[in-house]
Amino acid sequence: MPKNEPAASVLAAAERLSRRLKRLIPKLRGERAPHVLDPLQYAGDNHRRYIELHVRRAVLDAVLFGMNPGPWGMGQTGVPFGDPGLVRDFLGIDGAVEQPRGAHERVPIRGVASPRSEVSGQRLWGGARDCFGTADAFFDRFFVANYCPLLFLSERGSNVTPDKLPKDAMAAVLSACDDHAREVIAALRPARVLGIGKWAEKRLVTLLQEVDDAPPVGTILHPSPASPIANRGWLPAARRQLEELGCAWPSPATGSA
């Protein structure tokens, strides 16, 4: 069981979201994304462990929201931006995963044993490791979640992001994910919420419009290799943005801001 009330609230919110999305998944499978998987189900033990270990307390500097899982990150491990090596060695999570129905043969689900790395996860969690030294030091100030937990794969096994899917098919998914994000924010009471990438930022702005005393919303650069700016140096660019937002990360490897 979670050791504190915020962790229990975040875990309960994730479980409610997964139950809602389970009913929607059959309707989501289509020409653009015939394979739709929920890591909260088949990698649920790892996701629960992530919350239990790393939701420390309420009132954080920021909660950072990504878009949705990638096939070699959270799609494998159940942890946001979950590069297998860093999930195991930095975040301390090494549970087994189940084999989901509807998996793509080109994207075998192997959990932390997956031999493939995820660039976005290497950049984000590798940056957290280099700047904070330990996971404890990072999670004392921050938490990382994904807005949508579903993995969408094309017929060829390539990643499909939510913004590329039909709006009518995604409407109920977005509503469920909005509710979940509001619950996470209410549980952790961050000073600000940050979208990792512009799409996540836009969703956060929308879902918080009618929330009383909502924290301010900002954004940092997405660490995806599809971003030319990120490929020129994600960590320095993200650290500059975080400093401007009032929640600077320490200098890499020195432990000083």
250 part of a folded domain: no
What gap in Å lies between CA 129 and CA 138, rounded to an integer? 8
**Average pLDDT for residues 40-63, to the nearest whole number?**
94
Phi, psi of 238 (to 5 degrees): -65, -40
pLDDT value of position 60: 93
**Average pLDDT for residues 87-106, to the nearest whole number?**
96
Angle subtended by helix axes 234-244 and 119-132, to nearest 10: 60
Let me know the angle formed at the C-alpha of 187 by 181 and 192, rounded to the nearest 5 degrees: 65
39 part of a folded domain: yes
List, in sequence order, every residue forming a beta bridge with 144; answer none if it has no partner.
64
Cα(first)–Cα(last) distance of the chain, in Å?
Answer: 35
CATH number for the domain spanning 199: value is 3.40.470.10
pLDDT value of position 85: 98
pLDDT value of position 56: 84
pLDDT value of position 2: 60
58 part of a folded domain: yes
120 part of a folded domain: yes
Domain, as residue range, for 223: 5-244
What gap in Å lies between CA 89 and CA 55, rounded to an integer? 18
256 part of a folded domain: no
257 part of a folded domain: no
**Average pLDDT for residues 77-89, to the nearest whole number?**
98
**Average pLDDT for residues 120-135, to the nearest whole number?**
98
What gap in Å lies between CA 117 and CA 82, rounded to an integer? 9
Q: Is the pLDDT of residue 126 over 90?
A: yes
Number of domains into which the chain is organized: 1
251 part of a folded domain: no
133 alpha carbon, distance to own chain's centre: 21
Element (H, E) at 136: helix 135-139
255 part of a folded domain: no
pLDDT value of position 4: 87
Map residue 209 onto helix, strand or coil.
coil
What gap in Å lies between CA 146 and CA 67, rounded to an integer? 6
Q: Is the pLDDT of residue 14 over 90?
A: yes
pLDDT value of position 3: 67
Taking the whole predicted model, whether its pTM rises above 0.85 is answered as: yes
**Amino acid letter for position 146:** N
In this prediction, residue 9 has a pLDDT band, given cuts at 50, 70 and 90, of: very high
Kindly tell me the number of DSSP H helices and DSSP E strands found in the chain.
11, 6
